[in-house]
Structure 1
Amino acid sequence: MSKAAEIDIASVSKIYGKTTAVDAISLKIPAGSYCCLLGPSGCGKTSTLRMIAGHESVSVGDIVLGKNVVTHLPPAKRGTAMMFQSYALFPHLDLVDNVAFSLKMAGVDKDTRRARALDLLKLMQMDAYASRKPAQLSGGQQQRVALARALITDPEALLLDEPLSALDPFLKIRMRAELKKLQKQLGITFVHVTHSQEEAMALADIIVVMSDGRIEQAASPREVFERPATAFVARFMGDHNVISGKVVNSADGLVTFEIVGGGTFSAAGEPRPPGANVDAAVRTDHVRIGESPIKGLGFTGIVSNLEYRGGTIKLTIEGAGIAEFTAIITDKAFYAAPVAVGDAVPLHWDSEDAIVLGTPDP
């Protein structure tokens, strides 16, 4: 296989008429890493992937692969390969000819290209099916063939557009493990578009969270989860409550703020000027039932919903100025002192479990 290439996206925008789909994003994807572009529909992640591939033109900015500026090169000259969501296999060709197709177009002789295609089908554990047509395969098997076909050109980067979206939940989890293993085995750069937080967390070395054509945060899965950069990231990744208010004062590494409805809270973070708007995130699994010994690290609310989840119970609480607050309590802690819908319940958390969220870089 080829050596992996770093991908450098330098101030890239994609504009369709009056709509800006991707808005001046800059991102360095290290060589040999697994990068997931994550975000809701319409956030610009697929447009970004297609611009890296050369299937969409870049309106402004440059894309550099390794040492080569590839902004205006056709897809076949870039050193990338793309695996499409639909797999796009040729129904009339057997698996060997499907995989070998791009080598045929490049004028590689039949024996060489078929031998190379068989090697890749073997890598995907699909060599036993080599003479079959795509219609005779399951979804997971078709996906392996599509991967083999993308890899036959020895790309420096493999681009995957929601590759697991068509699979059933059990197969998704299995294919996730196989993709990660394959990426480590090949050592090339993978860029994978998904709207699934779980998929991105399981696969990526770097998660790039996008919203409205911009990058909200690009970091390791642990950092994105433990220290979301913005309120959007905290909400989109889930498992965080976001509380918004106006700063009262900052001292000893804590920012104290008031919310509409009168409550006062504190969160760890850099000092902010009094009166400034501020968002803070509180991890749902770090919230506990009981009075807070420290003012600003809890509140009392009314239980509006309970969900039993086996090892944990999900409580939804409403308080003054807080419409919906989630606490994930272990079943042991919950059943030691159970509460019911309609009960007033005090909640608290530790100072390090509430963090002030920044704003995206301009």
Structure 2
Amino acid sequence: MHDLNGTTVAQDDAVAGTPATPTKAAIAKEDAAAAAKARRGKLFADLAPLIGLAVLAVAFVLAGTSAGTNMGYAVETLVNQSVIVIIIATGAIFIFAMGSFDISLGASTLVAAMVAGLVHNATGNLWLMLGASVLAAVTASLISATLAAVFNLPVFVTTVAMLSVLGAVAAALVQTTGGAQIRIDRSFAREYDTLTVKIIVAVAFLALCVFLFNYTRLGRVEKLMGGNPVTARLTGVSMKLTAIAAFAIAGLGVGLGAFLTALRTPTLTVTSASDIGMNILVAMVFGGMVISGGPRSRIYAAIIGGISMALLNQTMSIMLQGMAGGAGIAQMVRAVLFLAVVWLAASGFRTKVLPR
């Protein structure tokens, strides 16, 4: 020991195995590295859906060109497949942003489409048909939200119950026609089942949702509820009214999607639109939507995911055309990609620094 100021003692302690106390500079450097890693992870998670969309678009063009597919018709089919999912998924984002979960969207779409078909058959009026579809869908959504608010039940529980109720309602509506289906005049449906009508409906609804989600208090409150419901409650947010507003917007999207479904499929049965609910969930995940909701929720996830799903389906159809078991292979590919996207989205935020 050469002096009494502690310098040599500290060195001896280090040699003896006693860990040295990290300096402020070392702590700051470690925090900066963690923050940089968090930013890289967030950037990767944000860009992954766009990269996936670009890859699927290239694969679609290459597969279609090599197979000699009519690309004009393929693109039209692509729009027809994606637009309904995009509309309904965009409205559903208001529910998922709160950290809630609605599995009755497919059944609600079917019931609203059936109501639209019955109203058209009774009146022959396009606008009454549209209004009936929206009213039926919004009513079903508000029933789910109201039950959850009044009885303090998880939204997931009420939507499970509504799934069974709506299935029974669909069966009852079919029986009113005396048969097993509801038919809409095909010439009428063909007249309005056009890309122009679909694009107008989609653009109008998407513009409304983007404004409400990104530029109003409603969108901010929903993301706050999904990220930290306790903080939202302590800041005076009306959890029940916000949930009801979210379900009303989602119902509007379902109603518009059901209207287009009735035009697209003028013969409706109890199995029509049976895969819409799952397609919506997969599309949102493909688009980068965080199922837990919160501040990472993105309104554009429905658009990216809906187009990605349609591109994947079209590409798989072209590549597996005529192959035995092609449908099963396509389902397995979608399942693997779904799990991969979920893992990548989650891994982008596995950091020691809280997301800002």
TM-score norm. by structure 1 comes to 0.22
Structure with larger RCO (C-alpha < 8 A, sep 6+): 2
Higher share of residues assigned helix: 2
TM-score norm. by structure 2 comes to 0.22
**Which one has a bigger Cα radius of gyration?**
2
